[in-house]
Amino acid sequence: MNTYYPVYIQMREQSCVVIGGGKIAEGKVEGLLAVKAKVTVIAPDLTPHLRDLADQKQIAHLERAYQPGDLTGAFMVICATDQAEINHQVWQEATSNHQLVNVVDDTPLCNFIAPSILRQGDLTIAISTSGKAPALAVRLKERLQREIGPEYERFLELAGELREPLAQHIPDFETRKALWYELVDSEILEVLASGDEAQAREIISGVVGFGFEPA
């Protein structure tokens, strides 16, 4: 049984190669662009959306089938074709290069798997079934989407503003840690969900013991 070590990877400016130009490849490309990766797509044909991305220079495109050597220099490789021979060639080249590689829907040809991801700003929740039932991961994501709204994104933005002044006012780590838990356990998320940011800042000020006004 495969076991996986969950990890978040900094992908900004990392070189990624996607083999294939269909709808599945399109979804993978969108995910990579969302985290600012540098994407090259290798495929004879592209979906209209991928073609637009190539025309806009948001991705590079090699308009042909994969060839050995195409993966040189890539940090991550995703193969989204229905051609078993190409899938195996990509897997063999990538593993020989010690690259991260995922052959879509073929777990034995993957040294990493992509979870179902829910994002609310800086909040990222990844759900994985270790490749056994991705549909379950999607349904769990949908359930969480109904419970975790944009107030979580705004809370994290406020938390980012708070970290430095809180450290300056309260240098003791354990005290700060207790205040963070008190803040998270307060009604601030409900208040932000109602759109009352002024009250949310009042809650923060009451918890931390000093005024917390917009910069």
pLDDT in tens, 112-129: 998 888 999 999 999 999
Each residue's pLDDT tens digit, 135-149:
999 999 999 999 999
Closest CA to 16 of 67, 74, 59: 74
pLDDT of residue 1: 65
Handedness of CA 25, 27, 32, 36 (dihedral sign): positive
For the residues 28-36, what does the mean pLDDT come to? 95
For the residues 190-210, what does the mean pLDDT come to? 96
- Residue 157 pLDDT exceeds 90: yes
- Residue 131 pLDDT exceeds 90: no
Classify each residue of 156-174 as buried b or exposed e, where b means 16 or more C-beta atoms within 10 Å of its C-beta: eebbebbeeebeeebeeee
Residues in the chain: 215
Each residue's pLDDT tens digit, 74-109:
999 999 999 999 999 999 999 999 999 999 989 999
pLDDT of residue 126: 92
This prediction's pTM: 0.81
For the residues 195-207, what does the mean pLDDT come to? 96
